[in-house]
Amino acid sequence: MHSSSSTKASKGSVKVINSNNRLQLRFRYAGKRHYLSMGLPDTTINRKAAEAKARQIELDIVSGNFDETLDKYKPQSALSTAEKITPEITPEVSLKELWEAFLEFKRPQCSENTMKYTYGVYTGYLEKLPTHSLKEASQIRDHVLQTVPLNSAKRFITRLSACCKFAMKSGLADQNPFDGMAAEIKLPKASGEEGFTEIDPFSIEERDAILQALRSNQFCSPKSAHKHSYYAPLIEFLFATGCRPSEAVVLQWKHVTEDFSQILFEQALINTDGGRKIRKGLKTQERRRFPCNAKLQELLKSIKPEEASSDAWVFPSPKKEPIDLNNFRNRTWKKVLKGLGIEYRKIYQTRHTFITHALETGKLDAKDVARLVGNSPEVIYQHYAGNKRELVVPEF
């Protein structure tokens, strides 16, 4: 916040000062000192409003149009708890400025984690927009739909609408061009491929926060029989490979080469009327090999017991059985996401996260990623890469 100013104002000049964290205008006219309260907290966007009012008073003094009653310069109406700004500068306020004011409004209502991992992600989206003009809302929507996963895009547009709604109530804007826009964004219906009812990957920051929370037993009840850290290797593995969770929980050490350089996926855990069973073969293929990078090799080395048999589970439950993902979701996954303030997504989103960020590196094309995760290139293009892939017409 800006500190109170003690600089003596020259004749005809108007100073913006901070008084008990509220903005005031201070100036002299006809030998008399005047103080005019703006009724605004000292924030960046409100200080701009105060400075605009100060310039207006200075011009009136110079031109002989100064209103000695000060009524002309007082706020138009009593302020609500939300911040207001004078109408004359409303057209100059950008979406970025409105968003900053919106965040300050939300901050006391949200946890630090929510501000960081939810609103922080949306702030990242906003900073990459080609324009921050409210007049270009349609262009903003089209850009978001082309660069952000569809579920996240819809939620982001919803937040932009909430931001503008707040701005209108606060006198910061006179329109909400995003009103109803999110409702027009239709999410794809489920297809035959598991998990495609929604593709809503975690950001890199969210991924890292989840892993750190698991490793450090954040949000873990002291009475919990099994600490969150027990499951951290499984989630790290899912984020690192993009495999289906049903494939990871029945991975055995015989499926990992002795030098930890490759993994063979060839079975999955399925639910049947008779209970959980291991199915030989995968959803879309018999088997696939996955090459391990250095980080994944270190993970596998760190969790392999010295006397592990070839049939032992890589990620066993505390009872040495395949981990029950339903129990894990209810007892650990939901608690961690809620504690971090990260919007809930299914564990399967670890797969979508790997695919999305693998493509975004630019080092792997859709065919490469399809081989790694066991999908067809067509599925990758349709659900992940279609809108993000830049098309260049070759010379021929």
Phi and psi torsions of 298, nearest 5°: -65, -40
Q: How far is CA 25 from CA 39, 54, 150, in A?
A: 11, 7, 47
Q: Which of 54, 43, 39 has the alpha carbon at shortest distance from 93?
A: 43
**Residue 315 has what pLDDT?**
96
Which residue is associated with the tokens 């706020």?
A: 75
Q: Which of 32, 31, 27, 29 has the alpha carbon at shortest distance from 14?
A: 27
Which residue is associated with the tokens 């303030």?
A: 341
**Residue 313 has what pLDDT?**
96
Helix axes 232-241, 204-215, angle to 10 degrees: 160
Torsion of CA 211, 216, 220, 226, to 10 degrees: 90
Amino acid at 56: Q
How is 307-347 classified by DSSP, letter by letter? T--TTSBSSB-TTSSB--HHHHIIIIIHHHHHHHTPPP--T
Residue 32 pLDDT exceeds 60: yes
**Residue 35 has what pLDDT?**
79
pLDDT digits (tens, 9 = 90+) for 210-240: 999 999 999 988 877 678 999 999 999 999 9
CA atoms of 388 and 383, how far apart (whole Å): 10
Average pLDDT in the chain: 84
Query: What confidence category does residue 160 fall into, taking pLDDT thresholds of 50, 70 and 90?
Result: very high
pLDDT digits (tens, 9 = 90+) for 181-210: 999 988 765 444 444 447 888 989 999 999
Amino acid at 115: M
This prediction's pTM: 0.63
Q: Which residues pair with 19 in a beta bridge?
A: 22
| Tokens of residue 233, six digits | 């290797």
Which residue is associated with the tokens 């949200």?
A: 110
pLDDT digits (tens, 9 = 90+) for 250-292: 999 999 999 999 999 999 998 877 888 999 988 888 899 999 9
Query: What confidence category does residue 8 fall into, taking pLDDT thresholds of 50, 70 and 90?
Result: very low
Distance of CA 278 to the CA centre of its chain: 36
Q: Residue 340 CB: number of other CB atoms within 10 A?
A: 22
pLDDT digits (tens, 9 = 90+) for 303-361: 999 999 999 999 999 999 999 999 999 999 999 999 999 989 999 999 999 998 898 88
| Tokens of residue 390, six digits | 């830049």
Q: Residue 389 CB: number of other CB atoms within 10 A?
A: 12
For strands 262-265 and 275-280, give the pairing: unpaired
Contact 108, 82 (CB under 8 A): no
**Domains, the chain, ordered by start:** 15-87 (no CATH), 93-184 (1.10.150.130), 204-385 (1.10.443.10)
Share of the chain above pLDDT 70, in %: 87
